[in-house]
C-alpha cells in the first residue's frame, strides 16, 4: 500500500500505544498518521478510582499527548468522533470530517446501566477524568455541607457503591482510606459515615479467586465497609436507592450513589454499522473487523473469544496494550506488503487494589498474592506501562515509587 492515510480514533491504552509504536515503526514517507482524541491528554483509566475517591490528583493520571507522541510524525486532531462510515472510509467529527485508508478504532468504554431506572440521572460514574473529578468534588461538598445544614439529611453521609466487581471494589478500597481524612477535615464523627457496597452475586469479585475475594471482604470490612451481596439494585433516586434481596425490596437513603457495575463498548461502534457481538466488534485473529479489511479495532471496542473458556476475554488495559502492539506491527506489514500476524494474548495475571495499602492478585502461573506483596506488584504493573509508553522520562515523572504508601 503506497503512502496510506492511517487514522487512529481514541488515545486510551489501545489508541495511544498503537500510535507510539507506529511512529517508531514507519518512516515519515511511508504513511501519514493522524490521531484523534477528545482531549489533549491520555488518561490511565485504571487509576480513575483513585481520582474519584480523591486519594490521587487527576493530573497524576493524565499525560499530555504531546509528551509521548511525536507531532512531527503524527498529526494530532483534538475533536470528538461522532460516527464512522466504513463503507465510504470516512469519520465524522464534531468539527470536521476525515478520510482514511487504514482505520484503528480505540474509542474505549462507557457505563452500562442495564436500564435500571434513575442511574443515568442520579448516579455518579467512574468513566473518565471529568466524571472522576465530579465525584471527588461531590464527596468533598457532601462532607463540607454536613455542618452547614440545620437538619442533617438522613442520607447525607451514606455512600452507596453499586457493583462489587473489580472497579467497585477498587473504588471502595480508596474510599475506605479517604473517608477518615474527610472526617478529620470536616469535624465529622467517622461512625456517622456508611460506605455500602451492593453486589448482585452471592460474593464480591465474582470470577476472581474465592479465597482472595474473602480476603478483600475482610480487609474492607475491617475498615468499615458494609457489603450487601446477592442484592440487585432496582432503582436510583436523587436521595435513595432501592435494592432487592431474597425477594424483598429495601431502601437506603443516600445522596451519593456510584455506579461501578458494568461497562460496554463505546456506542459509536454499534451505531456505525459494524457487525457487533455484545456491542463490540468480534475481530479476526489479526485484529481487523470481519467486514472491513482496512479497519482494526483495539481495546474495549474489540471482542476476542477465549477458546479455553468459550467466553470473551474481559476488557482490560493489559489486553488493549498487547492488541495495540500487534496492530502497529500488522499495519506496518500491510503498508510494506508483508504477512500479518495473529493476536495471541499473554496474560500475566490480575491485581486489584484495596486502597493504597492492600491488594489482592493472581499472577503468572496462578500464584496468589495479597497484602504488601500485591500492593507492590500493582505499582510495578503501573510503572511498567509508563515505561513502555514514554520511557524512563515518563516513568520518573508519573511513576508510583512509594511502596510504603
Ligand atoms: C476504575 C477502573 C479500574 C480499572 N482497573 C484495571 C486494572 O487494574 N487492570 C486492567 O487491565 N484494566 C483495568 N480497567 C479496565 C481498563 O481501564 C480498560 O479496559 C481500558 O481503559 C480500555 O482501553 P481502551 O484503549 O480500549 O479505551 P480507554 O482507555 O477507555 O480510552 C478510550 C479513549 O478514547 C477517547 N474517546 C472516547 N470517545 C471519544 C470520542 N467520541 N471522540 C474522541 N475520543 C474519544 C477517550 O477520551 C479515551 O482517551 C479498569 C477500569 C476502570 C474504570
**106 Cβ closer than 6 Å to some ligand 1 atom:** yes
**90 Cβ closer than 6 Å to some ligand 1 atom:** no
Rg of the chain, C-alpha, whole Å: 22
Ranges of H-type helices in 223-286:
267-271
Q: What is the pLDDT of residue 365?
A: 80
Q: Which atom of ligand 1 is nearest to the CA of 318?
A: 11
Q: Which atom of ligand 1 is nearest to the CA of 299?
A: 26
CA distance 37 to 16: 10
Q: If you measure from the C-alpha of residue 289 to the centroid of ligand 1, how many angstroms do you get, rounded to a whole number?
A: 20
Q: Whose CA is nearest to atom 19 of ligand 1?
A: 316
Q: What is the pLDDT of residue 404?
A: 61
Q: If you measure from the C-alpha of residue 103 to the centroid of ligand 1, how many angstroms do you get, rounded to a whole number?
A: 19
User: Can you give 105-131 as a three-state secondary structure string?
Assistant: ECCCEEECCCCCCCHHHHCEECCCHHH
CATH of domain 5-111+264-346: 3.50.50.100
**323 Cβ closer than 6 Å to some ligand 1 atom:** no
**Cell 468522533 belongs to which residue?**
81
**360 Cβ closer than 6 Å to some ligand 1 atom:** no
- CB atoms inside a 10 Å sphere around CB 32: 17
Q: Which atom of ligand 1 is nearest to the CA of 49?
A: 1
Cα 385–chain centre separation: 14
Cell numbers found for residue 22: 507506529
Q: Whose CA is nearest to atom 7 of ligand 1?
A: 46
Cα distances from 236 to residues 122, 231, 392, in angstroms, run 7, 14, 45
Q: If you measure from the C-alpha of residue 109 to the centroid of ligand 1, how many angstroms do you get, rounded to a whole number?
A: 6
Cell numbers found for residue 87: 463503507
Q: If you measure from the C-alpha of residue 312 to the centroid of ligand 1, how many angstroms do you get, rounded to a whole number?
A: 17
Q: Which atom of ligand 1 is nearest to the CA of 324?
A: 25
**384 Cβ closer than 6 Å to some ligand 1 atom:** no
Cell numbers found for residue 228: 450487601
DSSP string, 125-167: E-SSHHHHHHHHHHHHHHHHHHTT-SS--TTTTEEEEE--SHH
Residue partners of 40: CB distance under 8 A and separation at least 6: 64, 65, 66, 76, 78
Q: If you measure from the C-alpha of residue 246 to the centroid of ligand 1, how many angstroms do you get, rounded to a whole number?
A: 35
Q: Are 68 and 41 in contact (CB under 8 A)?
A: no
CA distance 335 to 241: 54
**170 Cβ closer than 6 Å to some ligand 1 atom:** yes
Residue partners of 291: CB distance under 8 A and separation at least 6: 86, 274, 275
CA distance 2 to 8: 18
> Which of 10, 111, 127, 389 is the best mutation target for the ligand 1 pocket, counting ligand atoms within 8 Å of the beta carbon and taking the most?
10
Q: Are 209 and 215 in contact (CB under 8 A)?
A: no
**38 Cβ closer than 6 Å to some ligand 1 atom:** yes
Handedness of CA 253, 171, 360, 210 (dihedral sign): positive
Map residue 185 onto helix, strand or coil: helix
Taking the alpha carbons at both ends of the chain, their separation in whole angstroms is: 51
CA distance 259 to 115: 13
Does the active-site annotation cover 154?
Answer: no
Q: What is the pLDDT of residue 405?
A: 56
Residue partners of 210: CB distance under 8 A and separation at least 6: 203
**23 Cβ closer than 6 Å to some ligand 1 atom:** no
Question: pTM here?
Answer: 0.96
- Topology agreement, domain 5-111+264-346 and domain 119-261: yes
- Would strands 225-228 and 349-353 be described as parallel, antiparallel, or unpaired? unpaired
Q: Are 103 and 4 in contact (CB under 8 A)?
A: no
Query: Which among 298, 294, 269 is positioned nearest to 283, based on CA atoms?
Result: 298
Low-confidence ranges of the chain (pLDDT < 70): 403-405
Q: Whose CA is nearest to atom 15 of ligand 1?
A: 316
Q: How do the domains of the chain map onto residue ranges?
A: 5-111+264-346, 119-261
**188 Cβ closer than 6 Å to some ligand 1 atom:** no
CA distance 198 to 257: 10
Catalytic residue among 121, 140, 149, 170: 170
Which CATH homologous superfamily contains domain 119-261?
FAD/NAD(P)-binding domain (3.50.50.60)
**11 Cβ closer than 6 Å to some ligand 1 atom:** yes
Beta bridge partners of 263: 111
Amino acid at each position: 500500500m503506497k503512502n496510506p492515510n492511517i487514522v487512529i480514533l481514541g488515545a486510551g491504552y489501545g489508541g495511544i500505544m498503537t500510535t507510539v509504536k507506529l511512529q517508531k515503526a514507519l518512516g515519515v514517507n511511508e504513511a501519514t498518521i493522524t490521531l484523534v482524541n477528545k482531549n489533549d491528554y491520555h488518561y490511565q483509566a485504571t487509576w480513575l478510582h483513585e481520582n474519584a475517591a480523591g486519594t490521587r490528583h487527576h493530573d497524576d493520571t493524565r499525560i499530555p499527548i504531546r509528551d509521548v507522541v511525536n507531532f512531527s510524525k503524527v498529526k494530532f486532531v483534538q475533536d470528538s468522533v461522532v460516527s464512522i462510515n466504513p463503507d465510504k472510509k470516512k469519520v465524522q467529527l464534531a468539527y470536521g470530517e476525515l478520510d482514511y485508508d487504514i482505520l484503528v478504532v480505540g474509542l474505549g468504554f462507557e457505563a452500562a446501566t442495564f436500564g435500571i431506572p434513575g442511574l443515568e440521572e442520579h448516579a455518579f460514574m467512574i468513566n473518565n477524568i471529568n466524571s472522576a473529578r465530579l465525584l471527588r468534588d461531590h464527596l468533598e461538598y457532601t462532607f463540607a455541607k454536613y455542618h452547614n445544614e440545620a437538619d442533617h439529611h438522613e442520607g447525607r453521609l451514606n455512600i452507596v457503591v453499586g457493583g462489587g466487581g473489580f472497579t467497585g471494589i477498587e473504588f471502595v478500597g480508596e474510599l475506605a482510606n479517604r473517608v477518615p481524612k474527610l472526617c478529620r477535615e470536616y469535624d465529622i464523627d467517622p461512625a456517622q459515615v456508611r460506605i455500602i457496597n451492593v453486589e448482585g452475586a452471592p460474593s464480591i469479585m465474582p470470577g476472581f479467586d474465592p479465597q482472595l475475594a474473602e480476603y478483600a471482604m475482610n480487609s474492607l470490612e475491617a475498615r468499615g465497609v458494609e457489603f450487601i451481596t446477592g442484592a440487585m439494585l432496582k432503582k436510583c433516586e436523587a436521595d435513595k436507592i432501592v435494592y432487592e434481596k431474597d425477594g424483598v425490596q429495601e431502601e437506603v437513603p443516600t445522596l451519593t450513589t456510584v455506579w461501578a457495575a458494568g461497562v460496554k463498548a463505546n456506542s459509536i461502534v454499534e451505531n456505525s454499522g459494524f457487525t457487533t457481538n455484545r456491542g463490540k466488534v468480534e475481530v479476526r485473529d489479526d485484529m481487523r473487523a470481519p467486514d472491513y479489511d482496512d479497519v482494526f479495532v483495539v481495546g474495549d471496542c474489540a471482542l476476542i473469544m477465549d477458546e479455553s473458556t468459550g467466553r470473551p476475554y474481559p476488557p482490560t488495559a493489559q489486553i488493549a496494550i498487547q492488541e495495540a502492539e500487534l496492530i502497529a506491527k500488522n499495519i506496518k506489514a500491510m503498508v510494506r506488503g508483508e504477512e500479518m500476524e495473529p493476536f495471541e494474548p499473554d496474560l500475566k495475571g490480575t491485581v486489584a487494589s484495596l486502597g493504597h495499602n492492600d491488594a489482592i492478585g493472581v499472577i503468572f502461573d496462578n500464584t496468589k498474592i495479597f497484602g504488601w506483596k500485591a500492593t507492590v506488584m500493582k505499582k510495578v504493573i503501573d510503572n511498567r506501562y509508563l515505561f513502555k509508553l514514554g520511557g524512563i522520562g515518563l516513568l520518573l515523572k508519573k511513576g508510583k515509587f512509594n511502596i510504603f504508601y
